[in-house]
């Protein structure tokens, strides 16, 4: 119904792991085989990705965990970082917001990984971090995306970073060793989160950042804690879809689904012009609402119940243009909207995703990131730690009226949005992707491929997809048929062809428990170096 595949879905009786790199996925699977649960496996995979995807994620980054436990509870661990206490709009220019020592939020990954492990894992941090430490110390051979990304993002790095990543030839099979990172990971595993946030490593990081003119301070690190939260969700055609609450922007995914729920998508046909027209218009409306309303709930009230209510959705549906492309503001706030731009309703880089499911039925899904390639470009000397640049994803113009205007101690409005889907009260599948604001477009498309068109996780991920930008711009993969693309152009969509498989539309990962057989299924995206494994 959807098309041909490049890879088979991976299946096993006991457990499965999907991540953006085959070596990291294998680390997670080894943990499951060794008696660990899904939380042990996901943390081991997350730490391994720091080594084998150092430009995407690591201890200097931030993220979210969406966790479903075998006892039926589903919960969120938010470790998406906060702005430093000195972070006010006047402290930034567009250049310092994007790159350099002022562009980082307080890193949350270490706190998140270790909190999840302590609360719901079964193994020690020393055991779970051991494979990542070994790969950092002994080295690993570069895979295709490794070589491409290191070559592309190398100019962002400071001298300490150039010393590490400029020392390896950016070609497949070259060996990358990261001994300083191994040392830091070993110290964190042995000494716990305090070592990173309040101990010697905290002093090394903040003293360096302060000396470089950055904002991150000892007090910023010392005061950081991740938070457990309740997921938000909707019912879509009889299945329950859950994601992380704001400051996560995942409610855009939920709202998009509700906007199209009244349509017969199967009769439209997968990736027909009519289907893409309808879905793209829903995305544009939900994007406008997300820009207008999403923020840190510690700073602003967010009318989430209203935004997802049947009454409000029915009103917004009336604004959907079913024939021609509406003009969109784009992915984020760009100043005052013109009257021709899709408006919000009235209400009274580079990232990575990973998932694990175990034999007991625990499912852990993490999306984590450094931001752009190598984040801020700041590697703290002698630590191997690259810091994120998520100040870039905040607004620094004091005239910005949206909740994402930067302020001290505030969490950014975060596009990382792991999703889990439940049928008849039981976990069915998890699916998500990296891809900046495109996460909120791609995840919907992959989810619909399963729910509406019966795809398995691998086929759902491989299917061709699109991404929207400002005005009527749409990036679209060439595998969408020519006649469909011509129809979309006639409707006013300004198309940019991406080739058959493109990084620009993400790199999804998924795990599933088959409702009939109880088998563990998994899929990973060939657009990057993703691999799924099972046993």
Question: Which residues belong to the active site?
Answer: 351
Phi, then psi, of 422 in degrees rounded to 5: -125, 140
Total Cβ atoms within 10 A of residue 318 = 6
- Side by side, the strands of the sheet bearing 239-243 are 10-12, 520-524, 509-513, 426-432, 419-423, 239-243, 232-236
Q: How far apart are CA 79 and CA 174, in angstroms?
A: 33
Q: Which residues is 353 bridged to in the sheet?
A: 367
Residue-level length of the chain? 535
The β-bridge relationship of strands 473-476 and 466-468 is antiparallel
- Side by side, the strands of the sheet bearing 350-357 are 227-229, 74-79, 62-68, 363-371, 350-357, 16-19, 531-534
Cα torsion at 68, 61, 350, 277 (round to 10°)?
40
Q: Which residues is 235 bridged to in the sheet?
A: 240
The residue among 282, 217, 213, 212 whose CA lies nearest residue 253 is 282
Q: At what angle do helices 251-260 and 439-451 cross, to 10 degrees?
A: 50
Sort 321 into a burial class: Cβ within 10 Å, 0-12 / 13-18 / 19+. Answer: middle
Cα 11 to chain centroid distance, Å, stands at 24
Q: How far apart are the first and last CA of the chain?
A: 28
What is the secondary structure of 233-264 as a DSSP string?
EEEETTEEEEEPPTTB-THHHHHHHHHHTTS-
Q: How far apart are CA 323 and CA 281, in angstroms?
A: 10
Tokens 């997921």 -> residue: 231
Tokens 């009318």 -> residue: 303
Phi, then psi, of 49 in degrees rounded to 5: -65, -30
Phi, then psi, of 311 in degrees rounded to 5: -65, -50
């Amino acid at each position: 119904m959807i098309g041909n595949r490049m890879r088979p879905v991976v299946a096993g009786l006991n457990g499965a792991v999907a991540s953006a790199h085959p070596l990291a996925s294998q680390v997670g699977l080894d943990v499951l085989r060794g008696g660990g649960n899904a939380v042990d496996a996901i943390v081991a995979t997350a730490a391994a990705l720091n080594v084998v995807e150092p430009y995407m994620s690591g201890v200097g980054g931030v993220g979210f965990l969406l966790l479903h436990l075998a006892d039926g509870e589903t919960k969120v661990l938010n470790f998406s970082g906060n702005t430093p206490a000195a972070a006010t709009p006047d402290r930034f220019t567009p250049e310092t917001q994007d790159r350099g020592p002022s562009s980082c939020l307080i890193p949350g990954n270490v706190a998140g990984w270790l909190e999840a492990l302590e609360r719901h894992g079964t193994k020690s941090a020393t055991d779970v971090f051991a494979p990542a430490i070994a790969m950092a110390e002994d080295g690993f051979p570069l895979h295709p995306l490794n070589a491409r990304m290191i070559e592309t993002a190398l100019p962002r790095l400071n001298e300490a970073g150039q010393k590490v990543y400029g020392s390896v030839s950016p070609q497949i099979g070259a060996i990358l060793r990261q001994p300083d990172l191994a040392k830091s990971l070993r110290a964190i595993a042995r000494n716990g989160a305090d070592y990173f946030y309040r101990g010697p490593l905290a002093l090394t990081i903040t003293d360096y950042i302060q000396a470089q003119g950055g904002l991150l301070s000892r007090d910023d690190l010392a005061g950081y804690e991740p938070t457990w939260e309740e997921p938000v969700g909707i019912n879509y055609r009889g299945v329950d879809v859950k994601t992380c609450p704001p400051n996560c922007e995942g409610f855009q995914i939920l709202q998009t689904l509700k906007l199209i729920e009244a349509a017969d998508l199967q009769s439209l046909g997968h990736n027909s012009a009519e289907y893409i027209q309808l879905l793209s218009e829903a995305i544009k409306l939900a994007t406008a609402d997300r820009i207008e309303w999403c923020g840190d709930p510690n700073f602003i009230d967010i009318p989430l119940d209203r935004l997802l209510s049947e009454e409000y959705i029915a009103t917004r549906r009336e604004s959907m243009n079913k024939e021609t492309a509406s003009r969109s503001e784009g992915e984020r706030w760009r100043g005052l909207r013109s009257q021709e731009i899709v408006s919000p309703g009235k209400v009274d880089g580079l990232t990575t995703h990973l998932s694990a499911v175990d034999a007991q039925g625990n499912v852990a899904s993490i999306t984590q990131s450094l931001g752009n390639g190598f984040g801020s470009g700041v590697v703290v000397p002698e630590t191997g730690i690259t810091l994120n640049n998520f100040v870039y994803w905040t607004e620094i113009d004091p005239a910005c009226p949206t909740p994402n205007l930067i302020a001290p101690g505030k969490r950014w409005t975060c596009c990382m949005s792991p999703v889990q889907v439940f049928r008849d009260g039981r976990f069915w599948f998890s699916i998500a992707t990296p891809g900046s604001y495109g996460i909120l477009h791609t995840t919907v498309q992959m989810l619909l491929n399963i729910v509406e068109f019966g795809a398995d996780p691998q086929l759902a991920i491989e299917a061709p997809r699109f991404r929207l930008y400002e005005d009527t711009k749409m990036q679209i993969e060439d595998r969408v048929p020519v006649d469909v693309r011509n129809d979309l152009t006639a409707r006013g969509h300004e198309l940019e062809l991406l080739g058959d498989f493109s990084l620009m539309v993400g790199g999804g990962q998924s795990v599933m428990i088959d409702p009939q057989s109880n088998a563990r299924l998994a899929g990973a995206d060939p657009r990057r170096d993703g691999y799924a494994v099972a046993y």
